[in-house]
Chain A
């Protein structure tokens, strides 16, 4: 029985606990949060043996085989290092670390200790992504990818998150080097990194604060990003992050020398795009029918997955966790190649450096502190 621990008992820890429980051959031996109330609430809602507020104590007493690290990103490196040094395998939520150097150090440490490490790029293991990967491996593209387009959008209209982020000048997301981008874009970048040849891609990034956020007085949170990425062998990619465009796409397009594929993560659809054209007017009539047929096929696939009780919102996470545990049990390769984790981190580093170098610092700390002083809003004497 694999002994599992979770460090960090916030929202994403719930998803981890739920998916771990769906996997046989493992048990959650402990959870930990520096806020003991948060650790206790997770312990009370899931079958967990112990809860701790100190990680060192958890590692010493619970002796977990694997630790899932679901804390804010700025703490990932330190916690993952501690776990690996203790001899526990580490599943680190995205973004794995604050920069590529930290990711390299963690991977080196894991390899040195004969341990496994994986990143929380669970979208890479969703049903539709696995179907796409199988098609690419089967040679459907007709050769190595020529070009990719990854769109990963975010609706800042989500009141809870936006309110918390925009109103709190000390929100932990603001302390990340890439701020909002760093907390969100790794899923979309990882899709590109998987198929991009080479280890050190060239990156050209353009980021800015959307007019909507700018109008709300926001000057630090870059919520619009356009990136051109170029790997070895002249494979290229575009990456788009937007909080404003609609629909809020989570889409990946990959084109080879013969055919292409279009993946829609939200709808879990995968569409094959033929490279060959029909003659004359046939091109106007046959492909739309073929596309309609493909969409119907996707509906059938999705219904089948639902009826088989495997269409959970975090089905990808379950698959990633299962694959990770299997790689530990069989001492096989990790489910996400370390090269992919590092290329993702390097692309993100380059994006954040370029965006930061173009940003004009406004320094509104004084205003923030003034706002915390009491303000009289009603004082009247006759």
Chain B
């Protein structure tokens, strides 16, 4: 157990939504490692709890982990889920490609959850897990918690995440709702084999390498989970936003080189930034001109957000949360590559 300064006791109930997703088991694991002994995992009716069970079997000495099945679109299910919870870690999100579906499964669900718990005496904090996708990076070269956020031109996920953050912030301002927002960069680790879109796009059998010398804002899954847990329990940080990226970020080129060496050989073509910018600009203009015959999947907003050169800061998380990435970048990458090899072998 790692003891940390905490707004709750070890036996207070912590609810984790989206508990069977990529991050969920890692967050539950981190909670148990930090000495919290009472965790409720909220999962979809169809989700497998195998990974959670593995965490429980591994870690739950004197701890209680329960799963509650339900749908966050149901206010009744939300009320049942939040009952007696002291901290809510809200990981569940809508990854849908359509705007209404992504919005419904991110924003409406979050509103339902907040409405279910905001009058609850036991509630001490609501951790809203957001994303780096919300940052426009239109003018900033250094992305930190003060950087500009915007939905215009973003894809469905970005739109939903921006609106979700706005909703949570509004509840905080209007009702004193005790929230903290965590914005992870590109979370990586075993179990998620896809290469971040910030590195490039695999299309028609060729990997279009778009990142070049850009640093990729990676955060290893276990490091990110630790940051989320600390955001849930650290005293005196209500209403704050925390970005989560690891140290020693590799450039896109370094990442891709290591990937090819450790996972598989593949053909890649580097697209220089001016070329990718011009392509995104042209695609965007054609999409406008053709009234959406081709949807604007490539546009300047996306280019700025994913492929423009930027630097990333994790100072605030280190100072205010006392967080440090326990798994080094090289170790994290080794585990990730091993996971990729295993998945490909399977």
List the interface of chain A (C-beta within 8 A of B). 9-11, 13-14, 18, 21-22, 35, 37-38, 41-42, 45, 160, 163, 166-169, 306, 309-312, 368, 371-382
Are A41 and B41 within 8 A (Cβ)? no
Residue contacts A-B, CB under 8 angstroms, 9 given: A14-B100, A45-B159, A163-B46, A309-B293, A376-B65, A378-B60, A378-B64, A379-B63, A382-B61
Are B69 and A38 within 8 A (Cβ)? no
Please pick, from A18, A37, A167, A380, the residue contacting B45 in the complex, using a CB distance under 8 A: A167
**CA of A163 to CA of B52, assembled, Å:** 19
Are B291 and A377 within 8 A (Cβ)? no
Are A377 and B290 within 8 A (Cβ)? no
Tell me if B203 counts as interface (CB < 8 A to partner A).
no
CB-CB under 8 A from B64, the residues of chain A are 376, 378-379
Tell me if B53 counts as interface (CB < 8 A to partner A).
yes
Please pick, from A14, A41, A168, A374, the residue contacting B163 in the complex, using a CB distance under 8 A: A41
**CA of A9 to CA of B100, assembled, Å:** 7
User: B52 — nearest CB in chain A belongs to which residue?
Assistant: A377
Give B37-62 as 1s and 0s: 1 = Cβ < 8 Å from A's Cβ atoms: 00011001111010011011101111
CB-CB under 8 A from A312, the residues of chain B are 291-293
User: B68 — nearest CB in chain A belongs to which residue?
Assistant: A374
**CA of A382 to CA of B63, assembled, Å:** 11
The CB with the most chain A CB atoms within 10 A, among B47, B60, B293, is that of: B293
Please pick, from A306, A310, A377, A381, the residue contacting B49 in the complex, using a CB distance under 8 A: A377
- Report the minimal beta-carbon distance from B115 to chain A, rounded to whole angstroms: 11
**CA of A22 to CA of B56, assembled, Å:** 55
**CA of A82 to CA of B96, assembled, Å:** 32
Please pick, from B44, B49, B291, the residue contacting A167 in the complex, using a CB distance under 8 A: B44
**CA of A41 to CA of B167, assembled, Å:** 12
Instruction: From known contacts A163-B44, A163-B46, A377-B41, infer whether A41 and B103 are also in contact, taking CB-CB under 8 Å.
Output: yes
Please pick, from B66, B101, B289, B291, the residue contacting A11 in the complex, using a CB distance under 8 A: B101
**CA of A6 to CA of B256, assembled, Å:** 47
- Report the minimal beta-carbon distance from A208 to chain B, rounded to whole angstroms: 22
Are B65 and A372 within 8 A (Cβ)? no
CB-CB under 8 A from A21, the residues of chain B are 291
Please pick, from B65, B71, B96, B108, the residue contacting A378 in the complex, using a CB distance under 8 A: B65
**CA of A189 to CA of B71, assembled, Å:** 33
CB-CB under 8 A from A38, the residues of chain B are 100, 103-104, 108
Are B63 and A309 within 8 A (Cβ)? no
Tell me if B207 counts as interface (CB < 8 A to partner A).
no
Please pick, from A9, A41, A368, the residue contacting B107 in the complex, using a CB distance under 8 A: A41
User: B291 — nearest CB in chain A belongs to which residue?
Assistant: A22
Are B66 and A372 within 8 A (Cβ)? no
**CA of A210 to CA of B71, assembled, Å:** 26
Are B290 and A309 within 8 A (Cβ)? yes
CB-CB under 8 A from A13, the residues of chain B are 100
User: B81 — nearest CB in chain A belongs to which residue?
Assistant: A374
CB-CB under 8 A from B52, the residues of chain A are 377-378
